[in-house]
Structure 1
Amino acid sequence: MRFAAMKASLERDFTVSVRHQIWEELSEKYEYYRGIYSVNLNFLVTVMFVPGFEINEEQWPPVLPENIDDVSSENEARLFTTALSDYTVTPQTRWAGKAEKIPLPSGKEDGENSDINLQTGVVFYVSDREFDVFSQELSALAQQTSGAHDSVKISEIKELEVSKFLLAKIVESPHFSTRDLKILTREDKYSHIPLVGETKLQPERVA
């Protein structure tokens, strides 16, 4: 399926950076996170792309354990990632094309007993084929933006299927928060950092 990106979204030429989640995890646990990608928009809004996982009544919506590092399987890693994410994209063929709002609990405790307020996350479901295409593109982008401050503009990658999906299905979604939409209109917060070898211009003195 191809997505037609709305013109309004391209007027927000925000930055995109991608990280393999295995780069962010403890060495003894990182294999459980293989295939998960963190997509950062303007360095502040994160969309997680999570491979398919088992959903049943006992574990959905996902609940975090007391120790979030206590992961023992791929399925748990994917569930816990979803439980911590404002926006998640995952393949579930029977629900492809739909979105679901889920509570994001701070832990096993009830919200009334927790010091952290309950939040709401959004899960965007796609087909297996769509997710495979996204994963291939994200893997390449992760290599391209592997540095802490590396990024590309959305306009530079607008022909990628994952970019079209981000624009048409997430940024333009009624579930995308107004706060995050405002963040995407801001100028790249790291744009002032000079590249290695560049000379940082000194401010002109006024007499």
Structure 2
Amino acid sequence: MVKYSIIYRRGQRGKLKRGREENEPLDPAGARERVFQRAAKLLAAKQRSVEELRERLLEGRGATKANVEEVIARLREYGYLDDAKFAQSYASLRLRERPIGRRRLQRDLWLKKVDKQTAAAALDQIFESTPESDLIDRAIAKRIRLRGKPKTREDAKKLFDHLLRQGFEFELVSEKVRALSKHDESATDEHG
């Protein structure tokens, strides 16, 4: 039995639309094509990891695990889905936007459901070309530009905590903040 419903969106009020019964199953080929179209739409909106896409596709109506796996295999074959490329481009984009440390990027990739080995390989490649010490220098310069140099011990602690939250290593942060504090103390001694 065919069900007719009235469409009330986008100014199409009153037009009849022929649809399926709610409990009527999709044919397997149609369901697979529907999952593929949804995957293409999701990937067009933004890059995603394989696991992230798998989860989103399984949320869709009519998506079975077999259909989703078949679509993912097809997308990999076409070169549209590759965790290594995704991790590499995601990490490089994040570093271009703002200077953050390795630990923060690792956590972000983990949240994007990229496996540890793939994430580690991408981060090794990224930090080979852009050392973390250069990034922390950029982060410190930006923070000083926005908030001024730390004048008190409390200000230095705030800078220290900020850099740790940005994912930089404890030793590196300690070294840089200590060097900045010593530089400030020596400049104060010369003027005072």
Q: Give the TM bin, normalised by the shorter chain.
A: under 0.3
TM-score, structure 2 as length reference: 0.27
- With normalisation by structure 1, the TM-score equals 0.26
In terms of fraction of residues, the more helix-rich structure is 2
Structure scoring higher RCO (CA < 8 A, sep ≥ 6) equals 1
**Structure index of larger Rg:** 2
